[in-house]
Copies of this chain bind each other. A is one copy, B any other.
């Protein structure tokens, strides 16, 4: 038999199961000597409490579900990194679920019996769809979802970020901006598009939207349009860094100087942004912190009923404003001139 149970420990230590439980869980009313004996036996037998049994008794699992859209790129590893860090602090493990196209619907419901709460990131799903699939009565925190959901919501203030970027471009002398937008239906993409349009209007500069889909390839296409003059612009602001980098490649290929002729900016500050030449100006989101904050909020919601203190009403929303990171694609630097 591979796994020792609490009864094995009890027998071996010549005490009752109750005492073993108390001794190992740090209860008060246990003689220190007995506690030591129990701990010694437990260690010797390699006893580890059965998580299932425990969750049955305690009515909690100490596991939180993390629901993410199709994982790609370093964004998710950063997010998970932050979540894991915070989860460890609360003694919560992370159960990962990827919401791929077809599946995930039932998968999501099945999570109910398995976790104490959920962190859900699903920019491509509508509120109705999401609500329909989500287990009711399970604490949840939403990341960058459509805002009308009950439950705590945590979002990146995409509109504000996009506006800040447009302002930066305008301040640098841009008169005509091309915005390479992300896919329709993606909340992030739409908020950025909206923020850019509003800011451009307010600043009185022209803004043309080129449709993209967050892939580098669509950025290349957009860059080519600007290079060929199909879209007249002296600044190109892409809805994410991947597209901005694609645009950079296209512009370079067409012999357009960046930033001298066209300034380029992205969004997200992926590690790569720093490394391309010229280095990409972008909006930075501290993704790990975002993940950590989500878990923190969730942890609070999970323990709240017990403490009876924290308000867990439906209206707990928070926005993280991204930070402008100015690099070489919007300012002429020494390195740029020399190359």
Which of A's residues lie within 8 Å of B, judged by CB? 2-3, 46, 48-56, 61, 63, 66, 70-78, 80-81, 84-85, 88, 93-98, 100, 103, 107, 109-110, 112-114, 135-138, 216, 245, 249, 252-253, 271-272, 275-277, 335
Contacts and interface: CB of A to CB of B under 8 A. Distances in A.
A80 B71 contact: yes
Contact of A61 (B52, B96, B103): B52
Contact of A52 (B81, B110, B113, B271): B113
A101 to B, nearest CB: 12
A53 B84 CA distance: 26
Nearest to A89: B103
**Which 6 residue pairs of A and B lie closest in terms of their CB atoms, listed nearest first?**
A52-B55, A2-B137, A51-B114, A52-B52, A51-B113, A48-B112
B76 A245 contact: no
Contacts of A93: 95-97, 114
A50 B135 CA distance: 13
Given A96-B93, A109-B48, A271 B73 contact: yes
A107 B84 CA distance: 12
Nearest to A272: B272
A136 B112 CA distance: 30
A98 B276 CA distance: 30
A95 B88 CA distance: 13
